[in-house]
Structure 1
Amino acid sequence: MTASAHRPGAGEPHDERLPPPAPVLGAQTWREIVHLLSNMPVGVAGFAYVTVFISAGAALSFTLVGLPLLAITLVGVRPLGRFERARARKLLRVHVEEPSPLRARERGFLPWLWTRLRDSVAWRHVLYFFVRLPWDWLTFGLVLPALFVAWPVLPWLTRGLTNVDRAFVRALLSPSDELERRIAELESDRGSVVDTAAADLRRIERDLHDGAQARLVALAMDLGLAKEKLLEDPQAAAAMVGEAHGEVKLALQELRDLARGIHPAILTDRGLGPALSSLAARCTADVTVTVDLDTRPAQAIEGITYFTVSELLQNISKHSAAHTARIDLWRTEDRLLLHVTDDGHGGANTTTGTGLAGLTERLTAVDGLLAINSPTGGPTTITAELPWRGRDEDQGRGSDSTAPRKRGRRQRLRSG
């Protein structure tokens, strides 16, 4: 089984379930005591570092060394934050993802300096060590005497104090660069879309060059020869014109097939239901198509859905040896779900060919996913999920935008 699914945000913290406090000190209570007692020396060291160097950098900011000193200070505060996250992970069972490495977009000292000065993660670490110092002294002053005079309530005291520490860690030491990570994902997806579009253009160019263009060139030559023979040998010229007429029909068919591969007219005119039924009619298996949509999705989503079904039905015809298949398409909230099953011999995956791998990349580029369950021996179940984006009624239905929306109809079509 090969599956793709949404992952939680890369910077989303997650914690282990903690045992409840108990009168008898447990292992977790002792870890929390160690954390609270170590807050004071760690907090003093961090506060001293950021206070001295940030103050010096700010005071010298009008000189040549001020801003570089600030940048170097921000570089150094990141390891301090990493140490605090490790301490919280070990003693408080708070798991916070590490921030992404900071990289300048361009080479050179000035881009490096500007990138470091704009490091929001490092500035939040500076704020963490600034605001923590009074709390660190307070926790140390409460826990150390409680070890001797308030032993019975110590588990509940440490749990309450460390919950504040956990809030500090989550708020100020968790990654704040989800936007940058999302931008990186979108840039990667954009690269996949560009590569797919380039491959499609190369395929169209190759099909035109090797197919219709070659036939049209041969047709022009045949018509030229027929024109020369028209007066000398009318019968031979008529035969050549007849052959040219056949070449014209073949060229038109190839152009029609090529246009259908770019964007089928039936999809534009009638929507996904009839378009998917047309695809099912060309499949070697007996395919049942069920479409349950109130409105038509955006053209891009509609096109990706169509070509996803086209690729999956081609795989069924070529590789699965299936007798029956089923296509279900429906909308749930803000997602468009496609479910394709067949009774073939299974074994479909994204590693043995480029078809399913290309589908995965194409769906990922629009925040979709492809999940494949195809054990050896079958059956095969493939689920595609795409984001739902609607279209205006004027554009999608060609009707007045003020007209009431028609009730969605469930289409069940069967083709052999």
Structure 2
Amino acid sequence: MLLAPVRGRVWRELLYLLVGLPLSTLYFGLAVAGLSAGAGLLLTFVGVPVLAGVLAMCRGFGHVERARVRGLLRVPVGDPAPVRPAKRPLPAGEPAPVRAGKPAAGGPAPKHGPAVGAPSTVRAAKPEVAAGEPSAGYPAEPGVPAGDPAPGYAAEPGSAAGAPSTVRAAKPEVAAGGPSAGYGYAAEAGEPVGGPSPDPAARHGVAAVVGALLKSGSAWRHVLYSVVHFPWAVFSFCLALTLWSYGWSMLLYPLWFWVFPAFTDRPGLQLFQNGDYTFYLDSPLAIGAASALGLGFTLLTPWVVRGLVTVDRVMVTGLLGPSRLDERVSALESGRGVAADTAAADLRRIERDLHDGAQARLAALAVDLGLAKEKLAEDPRAAARLVDEAHGEVKIALQELRDLARGIHPAVLTDRGLDAALSSVAARCAVPVRVQVDLPDRPAPAVEGIAYATVSELLEDVGRHTGARSARVDVWRSGGRLRIRVADDGRGSGAPAGLAERLDAVDGVLAVDSVDGRGTRVTAELPWRARHA
């Protein structure tokens, strides 16, 4: 506490308050003058763009204030949502933009092709092939009858069976940098070729931008801040400067009181005068008392300043920061990206498991059956042995497919719920697991699936990495949340990578309590949604 007056944080906060008064005076004067001029000119319609200009100007003031708060107060204040003009309606008779490969309302299905204005990279179309002949320059693909288009290539409509067919690339891949790179969207009507213009006024017109500013709640909050902050800035400036100057001047009074007798006809600082009686701070006792009082004010000033900037912080975050709706939209956009990444990773995992597991075994099965067919006449015993080996491969492939299907969404979860499904997962775990599910009814299928996947991943981590001798799974409902707790007595570890992000994408929470040698307790929460009949 004694070092508080000389800490850097206090000086930054004091500087914030001192600089705030001239800036707030500028904001207040320009905002009030602009609002008055705009309101007075509304009858001539000139006031509408004037008001929009005032709103844009106040949003600029908000940028300055947020930068001051981040730099001097070290508070991470987010930017509000940008002003987005509404899209202009399409002219009458102009077709609406559609996804590549999907027909517009009432129109024919378009052929796949590159987006307007964007170069596209397509698979080379195979040349025309006659029935029974392999493609020129292309070897015949196994399993594809001669004359049929190869997999991944669609025959042109109208080609007769057995006749030469013209094949084309099934799907284009839009090159990066186009207006719809990676998604196959056609460019929107009204957008310049090569991508949308970064200038909102160029895309939507000045009137649309003006209308968006006037309807922006964030812009009006910036105006409110410019008006309301001025009286508070005056009060904060006066109080902080008075306490700071009085405290330090009195604290250091023993070092400069000699100025009075040396350069004036007074023995010290005059405290008060009552008629002929005048009291000066010139005796050692009075000088010491003044210094002690200054020390008290000096120690008090940092806390007063901190209280003043706390009010400023609340005003900036509440009026100049993003609204709750903006934060919610941002969180949903981030969660949507995580969900998309998770789905893509799951698809890659399923493809890899099929390719390395069941597909390889089925290929070996085909080879074994082919050899058995060749040896059936000349060596029946060898053929029987090959058929027996193929039978074993079939069983293993079926088990791998069954395990893969169970990992995606087990049938027991759909039929009997979380209790039975988690008990099945616990039975396959490498360590003994005790499962207790206390739910009044079954949650929504999506919540059940996420809870099942979370517990499966946590138990797999327990069996592989913790060295635990036992584990416990508890699932219960608390208010509007579904809570999951997985605890083990292993050597301590964290949660699997990416699990917290996947739960956050569905408004879930993950907490890990891990101590070396004392085990790990992972608690997950999911929003509860009841199952509809």
Query: Shorter-chain-normalised TM-score: which range?
Result: 0.5 to 0.7
**Contact persistence 1:54–1:73 (CA under 8 A):** no
Q: Which residue of 1 aligns with 2:494?
A: 349
**Contact persistence 2:80–2:322 (CA under 8 A):** no
Q: SS of the residue aligned with 1:370?
A: strand
C-alpha distance after superposition, 1:175-200 (max 9, x if no partner): 46321221121111011111111111
**Contact persistence 2:443–2:529 (CA under 8 A):** yes
Distance 1:248 1:272, change over 3 A: same
**Contact persistence 2:66–2:316 (CA under 8 A):** no
Distance 1:237 1:172, change over 3 A: closer
CA distance in 2, matches of 1:321, 1:123: 59
- Picking from 417, 421, 435, the partner of 1:275 is 421
Identity of counterpart residues, as a percentage?
A: 51
CA distance in 1, matches of 2:514, 2:63: 43
Q: Which residue of 1 aligns with 2:36?
A: 51
Please tell me the residue identity of whatever aligns with 1:102: P
Max Rg structure: 2
Please tell me the residue identity of whatever aligns with 2:519: P
Q: SS of the residue aligned with 2:498?
A: helix
The 5-angstrom pairing of residues 9-408 of structure 1 reads 43-52=28-37, 59=44, 61=46, 67=49, 70-80=51-61, 99-100=79-80, 102=82, 107-108=198-199, 109-111=201-203, 114=208, 117-118=212-213, 119-126=216-223, 173=319, 175=321, 177-346=323-492, 348-349=493-494, 356-392=496-532, 394=533
**Contact persistence 1:330–1:338 (CA under 8 A):** yes
CA distance in 2, matches of 1:85, 1:216: 63
CA distance in 2, matches of 1:300, 1:100: 33
Please tell me the residue identity of whatever aligns with 1:124: R
C-alpha distance after superposition, 1:270-317 (max 9, x if no partner): 111111111112223222111100111111111111111111111111
How far the C-alpha of 1:390 sits from its partner, in A, is 1.2
How far the C-alpha of 1:102 sits from its partner, in A, is 2.5
Q: SS of the residue aligned with 1:331?
A: strand
**Contact persistence 2:62–2:320 (CA under 8 A):** no
> What is the Cα-based RMSD across aligned positions, in Å?
4.3
CA distance in 2, matches of 1:110, 1:42: 29
Q: SS of the residue aligned with 2:524?
A: strand
Larger helix proportion of the pair: 1
**Contact persistence 1:276–1:306 (CA under 8 A):** yes
CA distance in 1, matches of 2:61, 2:390: 80
C-alpha distance after superposition, 1:229-258 (max 9, x if no partner): 222222221111111111111111111111
Distance 1:75 1:207, change over 3 A: same
C-alpha distance after superposition, 1:156-214 (max 9, x if no partner): xxxxxx9xx99x96998364632122112111101111111111111111111111111
Distance 1:104 1:58, change over 3 A: farther
TM-score (normalizing by structure 1): 0.66
How far the C-alpha of 1:42 sits from its partner, in A, is 6.6
How far the C-alpha of 1:83 sits from its partner, in A, is 7.6
**Contact persistence 2:24–2:226 (CA under 8 A):** no
TM-score (normalizing by structure 2): 0.52
Q: Which runs of 5 or more structure 2 residues have no equivalent in the other structure? A: 1-16, 70-74, 86-195, 236-307
Q: Which runs of 5 or more structure 1 residues have no equivalent in the other structure? A: 1-31, 89-94, 141-161, 351-355, 395-416
**Contact persistence 2:473–2:485 (CA under 8 A):** yes
**Contact persistence 1:322–1:345 (CA under 8 A):** yes
Please tell me the residue identity of whatever aligns with 1:195: D
Which gives a bigger RCO, structure 1 or 2 (Cα 8 Å, sep 6+)? 1
**Contact persistence 2:485–2:522 (CA under 8 A):** yes
CA distance in 1, matches of 2:468, 2:444: 32
**Contact persistence 1:50–1:129 (CA under 8 A):** no
C-alpha distance after superposition, 1:324-347 (max 9, x if no partner): 21111100111000111111111x
Please tell me the residue identity of whatever aligns with 1:360: A
CA distance in 1, matches of 2:225, 2:84: 24
- Structure 1 range deviating more: 294-303 or 178-187: 178-187
- What is the aligned length? 327
CA distance in 1, matches of 2:44, 2:412: 70
Distance 1:369 1:247, change over 3 A: same
Q: SS of the residue aligned with 1:374?
A: strand
